[in-house]
A = this chain, B = another copy of it.
Amino acid sequence: MKTPDPIRVVIYGLGQIGLETAIVILGRRDLQLVGVIDNDPAKLQRDVADLAGMKRPSGVRVSNRPDDVLGITRPDVVILATGSRFKSILPQLKECVNARTNVVSSCEELLLPHVRYAAQTRELDKLARERDVSVLGTGVNPGFAMDTMALAATSPCLDVTSIAIERVVDASSRRENLQKKVGAGMTTAQFRRGVKKEELGHVGLLESMHLVAEGLGWKLDKVDEKIKPVISKKRVRTPHVTVQSGQVAGIHHVCKGFKNRKEVLSLDLQMYVGAKKPSDRIAIQGRPDVNVVFEHGIAGDEATVAMLVATVPAMKKLEPGVRSMIDVPVPHYRSGVL
């Protein structure tokens, strides 16, 4: 059988996730990096391999002109890693869709954008159908650990009455950006102000819960969301921050969903520096009960890159429109190493 042509990929946004994704794609023979977009003047015209600390030049240089890159390289898929909020990435999504390119993005709210932005999502969905391309949000969380994986774990069930999902992440091992997002090193007062301003917290937990509910065919009649600080009991140092005893170590973020006044979904996320026992647990009550444990948890930043790369081959086959992880074939690692 003839080897299929590699899938042509553009990376839009060269933060840590984008850069690590570039490294993975440059090492694959089934995927071809054909362009990179970023608006940071310090990165402009630099070879992406150079920025990634790789020895061999890739020949792909950073551009700050999305239309040029998309028009000239005609990618099959854009991997968009520029922001967590749907509204902030919406203009970029439209650029890609208008250029008739499929988009997969680590934008947390894009996991299920209609949860917060029904009208804009309908509009984007319409545009994507017209342009015959699909748009998908994914990542490790949201995108896998607390939603797709929980849905997959219900496969053996003839009935499901409730699901409780718990994730504990040691933020010490994560990127600087994430440690800041969970408020590590803040006072409790600073933390509360940050939560109020929506600068702190885990974006996407609500979307994860709705994705699970949508997959199960459940209509939730009440949703409850709480973000509390985890207070450090000792001094913890990471390469990026020092947390004193009594300061905020991170977040405890809980979403609960109710159906007929009963709690049927619970997503409980703790992300803080110094968490001793990272783990992921999914407890399904049903027929039969199913209890899944990821011992030592599911790693964070690498896994988001892995999910972005794993969904790229599916993008060309999805029905056009704004899609979700419910529509995607079982994601998995695939060897395509050079």
Interface, chain A (partner B; CB < 8 A)? 24, 30, 140, 144-145, 148-149, 151-152, 154-160, 215-218, 286-296, 298-299, 302-303, 305-307, 309-310, 317, 319, 325-337
- Nearest B residue to A309, CB-CB: B158
Contact A306 B156 (CB under 8 A): yes
Contact B215 A334 (CB under 8 A): yes
> Which B residues touch A296, using CB under 8 A?
289, 291
> Which B residues touch A298, using CB under 8 A?
156, 290
A158 in contact with B305 given A149-B152, A290-B298, A299-B288 (CB within 8 Å): yes
Given A292-B294, A292-B295, 15 more A-B residue pairs with CB atoms under 8 Å apart are A30-B217, A151-B332, A152-B152, A155-B303, A155-B333, A156-B307, A158-B306, A215-B330, A216-B332, A217-B335, A218-B335, A291-B294, A291-B295, A292-B292, A326-B332
Contact B302 A158 (CB under 8 A): yes
Contact B332 A330 (CB under 8 A): no
> Which B residues touch A151, using CB under 8 A?
330, 332-333
Shortest Cβ-Cβ A-B pairs, 8 listed? A156-B303, A154-B333, A151-B332, A217-B335, A291-B295, A288-B299, A155-B331, A157-B333
